[in-house]
């Protein structure tokens, strides 16, 4: 999306100009939001304007901005100590968090490694899979986003610009993601998009290009995030699990965006009724503090001291915030609330779809919701400019949204957002959608 200063007040514009003169141009900014403060699902900019937050810091703030229990945990820990290096010493905050993650893991008998971020979580999974299997090749998926460090970037395939000028650090063969709305491999009669992809893997890739015994792991998002909030075709994950078991391949799931209650389960992979070997987590675990890591089956986490580590990974302040976040989600029943609120939003969007011809597809689980925009529902021609207009206009009207995929918008509010605030946000969204259709689809908008 082309950046515009539209919507920023004088204080905001002045800070943006300073930003441009001092910070790297690699940052992608969606619109001219300059934040001053935030609470719950509301954000205020430096010019005093209020916004409803339907993005939650890119699916990070699962319990909202500055939840009192998380604030208290952080303040208490800062008053004790905030660094000692988990790779070299011990502290209870890391143990408490790891034990909590073990209780909510989607598989039994696990160990936890703590890092700083999502991309570090993926790097850890890659290294562990290599260490355990003695293999060096991997399978990933087109449209995936797993991070920007060289190992994780080898898997990332959502935008060409993310890989441009960088040599991948790991051998990864990319498969089409099993997208029911836009299948890259057309299913035969009686197939769906998931079986079509896995037939292609077994009958073509394993026959002509790769020996399955050379593959260390398959890294996959249970719901593809940056690629468009795509829910895989039914049956894909159970069959993928069976293929991994047959060839000794580790099933590695990236729950960095989809995990921690966002989809109405602790982990999105739980909707698929399979148990992974490694889970990558970050984002929603720490309520905005830098933390990530992996949960792995104990039988696979066989590396010894010094095989992997981090100076700041699992630092005590972030660990305290993470444990408080997980406790809030559990104690306030936010997983069930995410499912209920998500159903309410999906119902509203599908009702809008009957009146707005640009809405090609509405999909989601819990509060991980995607809306894909088209110029024509029959041809599915992507309405990219229309999507961008909606996001910019919604911002100017007081609603924070962000894109995903080539022509979709994601809705990822905090799991504890109120029904009244959801209603207010959806009203703004439809108002912006109507204006965008009048601009980009004047003929269809009048039908």
pTM of the model: 0.95
Please, what is the angle between helix 316-331 and helix 92-104, to 10°?
Answer: 40
Tens of pLDDT, residue by residue over 400-422, are 999 999 999 999 999 999 999 99
What is the distance, to the nearest Å, from the Cα of residue 102 to the centroid of all Cα atoms in its chain?
A: 21
What is the dotted CATH code of the domain comprising 10-63+334-445?
A: 3.90.1150.10
CA atoms of 438 and 134, how far apart (whole Å): 58
CB 27 within 8 A of CB 416: no
Whole-number average pLDDT of the chain: 95
Task: Report pLDDT for 444.
Answer: 62
CA atoms of 388 and 368, how far apart (whole Å): 19
Tens of pLDDT, residue by residue over 172-223, are 999 999 999 999 998 888 889 999 999 999 999 999 999 999 999 999 999 9
CA atoms of 132 and 398, how far apart (whole Å): 49
Q: In terms of C-beta density within 10 A (0-12 exposed, 13-18 middle, 19 or more buried), how is residue 17 classed? A: exposed
Task: Report pLDDT for 3.
Answer: 63
Output the CA–CA distances (angstroms, integers) from residue 10 to 5, 7, 47, in the order listed. 10, 10, 7
Task: Report pLDDT for 166.
Answer: 65
Tens of pLDDT, residue by residue over 337-379, are 999 999 999 999 999 999 999 999 999 999 999 999 999 999 9
Name the nearest CA neighbour of 230 among 364, 345, 387. 364
Q: In terms of C-beta density within 10 A (0-12 exposed, 13-18 middle, 19 or more buried), how is residue 332 classed? A: middle
Name the nearest CA neighbour of 293 among 100, 67, 58, 65. 100
CA atoms of 125 and 155, how far apart (whole Å): 12
SS3 129: helix
User: Tens of pLDDT along the chain (447 residues)?
Assistant: 456 788 899 999 999 999 999 999 999 899 999 999 999 999 999 999 999 999 999 999 999 999 999 999 999 999 999 999 999 999 999 999 999 999 999 999 999 999 999 999 999 999 999 999 999 999 999 999 888 888 888 878 877 776 676 676 899 999 999 999 999 998 888 889 999 999 999 999 999 999 999 999 999 999 999 999 999 999 999 999 999 999 999 999 999 999 999 999 999 999 999 999 999 999 999 999 999 999 999 999 999 999 999 999 999 999 999 999 999 999 999 999 999 999 999 999 999 999 999 999 999 999 999 999 999 999 999 999 999 999 999 999 999 999 999 999 999 999 999 999 999 999 999 999 999 999 999 766 544
Residue ranges covered by each domain of the chain: 10-63+334-445, 68-331
CB count within 10 Å of CB 298 equals 12
- Structural domain 68-331, CATH architecture: 3-Layer(aba) Sandwich (3.40)
Task: Report pLDDT for 186.
Answer: 87
């Amino acid at each position: 999306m082309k950046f515009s200063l539209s919507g920023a007040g004088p204080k905001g514009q002045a800070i943006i100009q300073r930003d441009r003169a001092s910070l790297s141009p690699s940052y992608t900014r969606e619109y001219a939001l300059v934040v001053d403060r935030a609470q719950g699902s509301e954000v205020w900019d430096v010019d005093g304007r209020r916004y409803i937050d339907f993005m939650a810091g890119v699916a990070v703030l699962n319990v909202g901005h500055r939840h009192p229990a998380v604030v208290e945990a952080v303040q208490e820990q800062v008053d004790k100590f905030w660094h000692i290096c988990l790779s070299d010493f011990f502290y209870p905050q890391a143990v408490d968090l790891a034990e909590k993650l073990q209780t909510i893991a989607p598989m039994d008998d696990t160990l936890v490694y703590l890092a700083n971020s999502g991309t570090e979580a993926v790097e850890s999974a890659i290294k562990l899979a290599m260490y355990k299997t003695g293999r060096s090749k991997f399978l990933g998926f087109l449209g995936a986003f797993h991070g920007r460090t060289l190992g994780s970037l080898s898997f990332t395939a959502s935008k060409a610009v993310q890989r441009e000028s960088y040599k991948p650090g790991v051998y990864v063969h990319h498969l089409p993601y099993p997208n029911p709305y836009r299948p890259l491999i057309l299913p035969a009669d009686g197939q769906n998009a998931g079986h079509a992809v896995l037939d292609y893997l077994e009958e073509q890739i394993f026959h002509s290009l790769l020996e399955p015994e050379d593959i260390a792991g398959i890294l996959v998002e249970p719901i593809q995030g940056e690629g468009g909030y795509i829910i895989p075709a039914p049956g894909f994950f159970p069959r993928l699990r069976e293929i991994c078991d047959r060839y000794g391949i580790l099933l590695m799931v990236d729950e960095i965006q989809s995990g921690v209650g966002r989809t109405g389960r602790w982990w999105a992979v739980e909707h698929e009724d399979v148990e992974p070997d490694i889970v990558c987590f970050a984002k929603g675990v720490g309520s905005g503090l830098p933390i990530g890591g992996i949960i792995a089956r104990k039988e696979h986490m066989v590396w010894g001291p010094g095989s992997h580590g981090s100076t700041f990974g699992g630092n005590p302040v972030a660990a305290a915030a993470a444990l408080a976040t997980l406790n809030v989600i559990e104690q306030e029943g936010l997983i069930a609330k995410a499912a209920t609120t998500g159903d309410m939003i999906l119902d509203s969007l599908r009702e809008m779809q009957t009146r707005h011809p640009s809405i090609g597809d509405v999909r989601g689980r819990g509060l991980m919701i995607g809306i894909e925009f088209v110029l024509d529902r029959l041809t599915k021609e992507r309405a990219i400019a229309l999507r961008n207009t909606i996001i910019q206009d919604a911002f100017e009207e007081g609603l924070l949204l962000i894109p995903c995929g080539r022509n979709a918008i994601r809705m990822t509010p905090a799991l504890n957002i109120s029904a009244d605030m959801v209603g207010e946000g959806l009203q703004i969204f439809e108002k912006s959608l109507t204006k965008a259709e009048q601009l980009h689809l004047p003929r269809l908008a009048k039908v």
